[in-house]
């Protein structure tokens, strides 16, 4: 590794101290270190600043400190640049920022010695069409969510796989998730956990009014099309929980496998299932006190 960039969520506790520690370790290991522009200003190192939107091929990897939201934002702001990301978890659960702060030293040593493997994660591309016109385009790493505001009215939708009719939904909304997003909002909505190498999407209704409407897994080669029949005020589409836009009755959402791929740096000694066991406390015991 010759040049490594650092991105951090400065709202996290001790973020600046951790950044200084990481920069010191990397520079002592012989790497050049640069900082996202806002972070560089906070560190008074503007001479080593870079912009995510214009990051060039000179950066070999990015170390991202924060939670999964920070890593997703970083991936989106890179705008199709295939720079591998190493996520350091300064937040809570964190499935993408899988390195706990206690293992920081080992992760940086592996990074410097090129011992980390690159895991590829698929994305989801989509469009919103209104009256036959394309009004919005989007890319998601985790999921897109069609949901409503505070009103207690349901959304009526029809779902298709390409032109093949699937079913109608009356629900509070619907989640279209990638395998990476299966451990995000979809998991809270009783969706299944899907291994990240699977080439599939999840279609998961939120609080459906027909109890037989269950989550469905479809191959990533199929286009998912959702047509809104009714849409209460404040109905909208949210992308990875970070961006979105309003929807209207008659709008059509078409989603399929994205062009972009997340390149995630992971510890070769770990695997997805060990992370699940750790993050979800599988095999652990819960203690209740009356």
Q: Tell me, yes or no, whether 200 and 273 share the same domain.
A: no
Q: Tell me, yes or no, whether 236 and 273 share the same domain.
A: no
Read off the CATH number of the domain in which 203 is found. Answer: 2.60.200.30
Q: Token pair for residue 107?
A: 């992760």
Q: Tell me, yes or no, whether 243 and 143 share the same domain.
A: yes
Q: Tell me, yes or no, whether 128 and 248 share the same domain.
A: yes
Q: What is the pLDDT of residue 288?
A: 47
* Percentage of residues in the chain having pLDDT higher than 90: 76
pLDDT class of 290 with cuts at 50, 70, 90 = very low
Question: pLDDT tens digit string along 143-169?
Answer: 999 998 776 689 999 999 988 999 999
Residue 112 backbone phi and psi in degrees, to 5: -65, -35
- Is 68 tagged catalytic? yes
pLDDT at 285 over 70: no
Number of domains the chain contains: 2
Residues 6+ apart with CB under 8 A from 124: 139, 140, 141, 143, 144, 176, 178, 201, 255, 256, 257, 258
pLDDT at 1 over 70: no
Residue 138's domain spans which residues? 122-259
Question: pLDDT tens digit string along 202-221?
Answer: 999 999 998 889 999 999 99
Catalytic residue among 13, 68, 143, 260: 68
């Amino acid at each position: 590794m010759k040049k490594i960039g650092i991105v951090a969520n400065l709202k996290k506790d001790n973020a600046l101290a951790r950044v200084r520690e990481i920069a010191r370790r990397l520079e002592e290991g012989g790497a050049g270190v640069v900082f996202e522009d806002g972070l560089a200003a906070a560190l008074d190192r503007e001479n080593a600043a870079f912009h995510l939107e214009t990051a060039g091929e000179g950066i070999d990897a990015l170390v991202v400190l924060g939670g999964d939201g920070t890593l997703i934002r970083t991936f989106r702001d890179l705008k199709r640049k295939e720079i591998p990301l190493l996520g350091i978890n300064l937040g809570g659960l964190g499935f993408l920022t899988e390195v706990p702060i206690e293992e920081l030293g080992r992760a940086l040593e592996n990074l410097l010695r090129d011992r980390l493997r690159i895991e590829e994660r698929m994305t989801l591309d989509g469009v919103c069409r209104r009256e036959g016109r394309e009004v919005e385009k989007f890319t998601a790493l985790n999921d897109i969510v069609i949901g409503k505001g505070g009103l207690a009215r349901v959304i009526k939708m029809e779902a298709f796989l390409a032109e093949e009719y699937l079913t109608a939904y009356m629900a509070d909304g619907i989640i279209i998730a990638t395998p990476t997003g299966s451990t995000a909002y979809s998991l809270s909505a009783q969706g299944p956990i899907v291994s990240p190498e699977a080439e599939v999407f999840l279609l998961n209704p939120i609080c459906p009014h027909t109890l037989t409407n269950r989550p469905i897994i479809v191959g990533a080669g199929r286009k998912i099309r959702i047509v809104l029949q009714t849409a209460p005020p404040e109905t909208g589409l949210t992308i990875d929980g970070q961006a979105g836009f309003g929807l209207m009755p008659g709008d059509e959402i078409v989603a399929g496998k994205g062009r972009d791929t997340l390149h995630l740096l992971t510890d070769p000694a770990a695997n997805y299932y060990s992370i699940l066991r750790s993050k979800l406390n599988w095999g652990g015991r819960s203690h209740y006190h009356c």
